[in-house]
Amino acid sequence: MPRVTTRTAPRRWRRLVGILLAGALLAIVLREIVNSSTYQLFGDYVARLDTTDRVVALTFDDGPDPVQTPMMLDLLDRHGVKATFFMMGRNVERHPQVVRQVLARGHEVGNHSYSHPKLIFMWPSAVREEIERTDRALRDSGATGDIPFRPPHAAKFVVLPYVLLQLGKTSVLGDVDPEEWKRPGAEMMTASVLKQVRAGSILGFHDPMGEDTRRAVDAVVTRLVADGYAFETMSVFLRRRGQRSDAPSAAPR
């Protein structure tokens, strides 16, 4: 009996270590899938336009903000550039006049959920309410046509894509992230964006983040226009994609 124990114990430990390593690897893979800004398991989504044309989409999240959003609009007006603003429903309800100002200046609006939760931890009915309540608020503020959706925190797994599929909504991700949450400063954000950007990129900023973000946007737009890039709204991007039946929904970097 002692011999049997000494022979089987190492195998048991190896099996346990193997299970733990496999579990850790699976957790890492799932985390990447859930938080990826360029990939979604299923449903209609776009992270970058598959094109050689020098076009990009400039997008903003988390507004509208009664102070910061109009200042960003002034900057975009100076450049003659149009963007897409993915708005939180609770902010839309608080500041509908800012939504109307965004639309009046020729920009587009999208849905960024009502309260900005991580939607992977919610029931389908709650996820649907987050989306539909925001759509209602946007339409009450003047939005028309299809309203694209962007996942808060870029978090999605199974429930959110399922709900979006039921609602017939496109999930807008992005392949250029300045990582404003790290507060790197305008110069570093500018350098990071210009390093990442390419034809068909979707750039994701946050208009409520303030002066550093505006300075970075100013510098990025100036440079890209000088390099021959044009800026398009998401509706134009999605129409371009629809004109190519062979274009994938997303093109991971």
Catalytic residue ranges = 61, 206
Hunting for tokens 């039921």 — which residue is that?
Answer: 166
- From residue 151, alpha-carbon distances to 80, 91, 181, 192 in Å are 28, 16, 16, 22
The distance between the two most distant Cα atoms of the chain, rounded to a whole number of Å, is: 84
C-alpha 237/C-alpha 232 separation (Å) is 7
Start-to-end C-alpha separation, the chain: 57
* 153: three-class secondary structure by DSSP: helix
> What is the number of helices (H) and of strands (E) in the chain?
9, 7
Report yes or no: 208 and 62 within 8 Å, Cβ to Cβ: yes
Phi/psi at 65 (5° precision): -115, 130
C-alpha 231/C-alpha 58 separation (Å) is 7
Question: In sequence order, which residues have a C-beta less than 8 Å from that of residue 172 and are 6 or more positions away?
Answer: 45, 46, 59, 84, 86, 110, 148, 149, 150, 202, 234
